[in-house]
Structure 1
Amino acid sequence: MTSAQKLVVARQLARLGVDIIEAGFPASSPDDLDAVRSIAIEVGNPAPGPAGEEDAVHVPVICGLSRCNRKDIDAAWEAVRHARRPRIHTFIATSDIHMQHKLRKTPDQVVAIAREMVAYARSLGCTDVEFSPEDAGRSNREFLYHILGEVIKAGATTLNIPDTVGYNLPYEFGKLIADIKANTPGIEKAIISTHCQNDLGLATANTLAGARAGARQLEVTINGIGERAGNASLEEVVMAIKCRRELLDGLYTGIDSRHITLTSKMVQEHSGLHVQPHKAIVGANAFAHESGIHQDGMLKYKGTYEIISPDDIGLTRANEFGIVLGKLRYHATHLSLFTSLPHIFYYDVSLGDFSHLRFLIQCSCSNKGASNA
């Protein structure tokens, strides 16, 4: 996305109620540094009200990503320092496979670098520093507890635990978060965060498992976009918490879910990455009912086949019931359809008109193949 597009999306994320916006990787290019700086200035500060007073609108933390080196951290701070609540997020790999083959450093060297760079970020005047042990999902537990304890002593305020390659199962990732909470020295001084990739299709499930185990920051993306198979999807995580709160220990978010549909479409438009029709929550078919059996239930009571109201995500669909007429199995639902057509099309339908409509639908189903329930 261009810098202008990133700014538009960041403004929408603030309207959505996102607590922290990781706006980019400032050291990666001058354009990215400029984009993050613009977001820090324009989204990371309250807008002046009509009489000059500060607007009471939600102001998110603006975060810049950096590797564990001074050049990256300097660039991140230069970009985010203009925000009211700036954050630097720095990371280094901690799994044996990454330390040996990518970093070519010993565990002791990695701990020393992490400790030094977190302290350096704090020395710049940044009081909010996030640290990620990259590939934590495949890292040695005792080493994780040690390095996390050291960066807390150096000033880290958030510990982000990445399942970088989407390797963990939900039980494993939940236990990882619980074990970090139980065994990391000084953990009470930091917030635990999750960052789950979707390589096995488990990013949302792992994120929820991490939240149940004690994580209080969840790193997610709109539409689940991200490296390879993507990241945990904001809309899935938010609506799962909203829909199943009683089984998630009363967890809640400050997200205004009524902005989800608009935000999803905006990100698709600006990124050029379109979601598949059957994508949960925001896919084109997520609230469409094609099976005759399902349509019959929907016409009688929407709760039979919908666990979320489209209104909850700001979705206005073509008709009240989400009926897809082109796929209707006339023999399963013709009576319910006849009695409900006035509610769908807003005018009375005669029995003769309905018989003709049923014939046309029957022909369509015969030609294209009837949908399965």
Structure 2
Amino acid sequence: MSAVTSDTNKDRIFIFDTTLRDGEQSPGATMTLEEKLQVAEALDEMGVDIIEAGFPIASNGDFEAVVAVAKRAKNSVIAGLARAIPADIDRAAEAVRHAPRGRIHTFVSTSPIHLAHQMRKTQDEVLEIISKTVAQARNLIDDVEWSAMDATRTPIEYLMRCVEAAIKAGATTINLPDTVGYAIPEEHFAMFKTIIEKVPGADKAIFSTHCHNDLGLAVANSLAGVRGGARQIECTINGLGERAGNAALEEVVMALRTRGDAMPYHTQIETTHLARASKIVSAAANFPVQYNKAIVGKNAFAHESGIHQDGMLKNAETYEIMTPASVGIKETTLVMGKHSGRAAFKDKLKELGYELGDNAFQEAFVRFKDLADRKKHVYDADIVALVDDEVGSVGDRIRIVAMEVVSKIGGVHKCDMTLTIDGEETSVSYEGTGSVDAIFNAIKQAVGQEPNLVLYAVDGVTGGTDAQASAHVRLEMNGRIVSGNAAEPDTLVASARAYLNAYNRLLIERGAAAQGAMAG
């Protein structure tokens, strides 16, 4: 038995995060290797039990990402997904063998509609596939998870036969996913309860839920599955995932924590990391979190109604069932401003969870003072964006010195820019179809390279016309893809700095690749 499945505490719920696999399958949510490693590190530090790092057979890039995540794992089990195909299983085993603890997660369809139109197999043929492929996986690794794709539309009698076959072949975790978000809580509860009570050997495995949100019931169904006997929940940060997404990790975790009276179960998640993880995934996938998103949305702990505000001032529990601090969100304050000194700024950074070195702190403080001079109110979110941006830019080879942009409706858009490249100053001027186009073209002209712009997006860090703009840029050159982020009160400056942030990462990667080639 693996370290995960040997836990004897019947009230312990294991959290299986599939942000890097199922979440990344959201159209447009593809992450770079660097972004995947950043997400995986946040999940590992937060206490996620199992991280599904990818689908190793899908591509060389996916394989390499799973290997990289596996090598850096400290506490989490690292899982690789595999179809019920021998080559898939071998590839997954090769990828996760680098982890201190690895898992092969293999799956096959079981519902009549999938068997008829996708698998084109009989029930008996699928049973044979289950037995052979699960046994193959178990011969390669001790920790094997088996999933019945489209379990909730599979007749219960046949589903029980499949589960029994998987357990006999050596599966240590059995996942019964609501692949298309079809179930309702009562059905989900009954499915797990029936199978766990009736299938021979069910006590030898951990049962798992994996719910999609097509009807908005993913979290409710996951919790119903737990009541039915499941002890693992598969979920994603921010509910990221195909179509309408998956059960949101932050929601299931906080539901269990907040309503322990009705659901006496617990997880090992350090909930104060939830807001930070949400921001990291949102930036990496370039999927903004809706303002009224439960737990981690900008308005999750905001109160505008006069009645609500009155109640909050008298006792926060009148309208908040959990504290912002419990999920890593600090209550918005206005105490930081242009008169704040280094000690106050350092104390605020510590409160927000940052420990910076002397150089990084000094650069962040200078930018904070500059921001405070320009912005009426400096919120915690402004400081978080500023520090994340500054930490990501330390050691840049290209830096912006000055920039002037001229925009005219129906006329010329022009950017005059001065940059330092490896310490040498250079000035350029370029026209474009728009202001941002002129800025990006000016940078390319100065550096002398032509990366392909894969993605450009801008979002507001806080509200108001003086809000910082958070810009996200993704560049590709010679097969390498990198991302850059920046936050500034001025959208054009944020865009320029985000582009430079990505460009610097390209130069670093190119230099590392050249050194590797020379060493070889």
Q: TM-score, normalised on structure 2? A: 0.58
* Structure 2 equivalent of residue 9 of structure 1: 39
Contact 1:122 / 1:129 at 8 angstroms: preserved in 2?
A: yes
* Structure 2 equivalent of residue 21 of structure 1: 51
CA distance, structure 1, for counterparts of residue 265 and residue 184 of structure 2? 21
Gaps of 5+ in 2: 1-30, 335-376, 378-520
Listed as ranges, the matches of 1:79-228 within 5 Å are 79-124=95-140, 126-228=141-243
**What is the identity, as a one-letter code, of the residue corresponding to 2:246?**
N
Aligned-pair distance for 1:85?
1.0
Contact 1:61 / 1:86 at 8 angstroms: preserved in 2?
A: yes
CA distance, structure 2, for counterparts of residue 301 and residue 4 of structure 1? 44
Bigger fraction of residues in helix: 1
Contact 1:257 / 1:313 at 8 angstroms: preserved in 2?
A: yes
* Structure 1 equivalent of residue 329 of structure 2: 315
Contact 1:145 / 1:185 at 8 angstroms: preserved in 2?
A: no
CA distance, structure 2, for counterparts of residue 115 and residue 7 of structure 1? 34
Contact 1:137 / 1:162 at 8 angstroms: preserved in 2?
A: yes
Q: Which digits, 9 at most, give the CA deviation of each residue in 1:3-36, with x for residues without a partner?
A: 1111111011011100000110011110010000
Aligned-pair distance for 1:93?
0.4
Contact 1:92 / 1:133 at 8 angstroms: preserved in 2?
A: yes
Q: Which digits, 9 at most, give the CA deviation of each residue in 1:147-201, with x for residues without a partner?
A: 1101111110000110011111111101111111111121011110000000000
Contact 2:325 / 2:331 at 8 angstroms: preserved in 1?
A: no
CA distance, structure 2, for counterparts of residue 315 and residue 276 of structure 1? 16
Runs of at least 4 residues of structure 1 off by over 6 A?
none
**What is the identity, as a one-letter code, of the residue corresponding to 2:181?**
G
Query: How many residue pairs align between the two structures?
Result: 305
Listed as ranges, the matches of 1:273-284 within 5 Å are 273-284=287-298
CA distance, structure 1, for counterparts of residue 100 and residue 241 of structure 2? 27
Which of 29, 54, 68 aligns to 1:38? It is: 68
**What is the identity, as a one-letter code, of the residue corresponding to 2:179?**
T
* Structure 1 equivalent of residue 89 of structure 2: 73
**What is the identity, as a one-letter code, of the residue corresponding to 1:25?**
F
Aligned-pair distance for 1:319?
3.5
* Structure 2 equivalent of residue 356 of structure 1: none
SS at match of 1:287: coil
Kindly indicate whether residue 251 of structure 2 is the aligned counterpart of residue 236 of structure 1: yes
SS at match of 1:91: strand
CA distance, structure 2, for counterparts of residue 161 and residue 317 of structure 1? 39
SS at match of 2:246: coil
SS at match of 2:209: strand
Q: Over the residues paired in the alignment, what is the CA RMSD in angstroms?
A: 1.1
CA distance, structure 1, for counterparts of residue 86 and residue 151 of structure 2? 23
* Structure 2 equivalent of residue 323 of structure 1: none
CA distance, structure 1, for counterparts of residue 332 and residue 76 of structure 2? 34
Aligned-pair distance for 1:114?
1.1
CA distance, structure 2, for counterparts of residue 25 and residue 202 of structure 1? 26
SS at match of 2:52: strand
SS at match of 1:319: coil
Q: Which digits, 9 at most, give the CA deviation of each residue in 1:108-142, with x for residues without a partner?
A: 00111111000111222x01100000000010101
SS at match of 2:207: strand
**What is the identity, as a one-letter code, of the residue corresponding to 1:197?**
H
Contact 1:62 / 1:86 at 8 angstroms: preserved in 2?
A: yes
Contact 2:80 / 2:95 at 8 angstroms: preserved in 1?
A: yes
**What is the identity, as a one-letter code, of the residue corresponding to 1:260?**
L
Kindly indicate whether residue 311 of structure 2 is the aligned counterpart of residue 297 of structure 1: yes
**What is the identity, as a one-letter code, of the residue corresponding to 2:271?**
S
SS at match of 1:245: coil
CA distance, structure 2, for counterparts of residue 318 and residue 255 of structure 1? 24
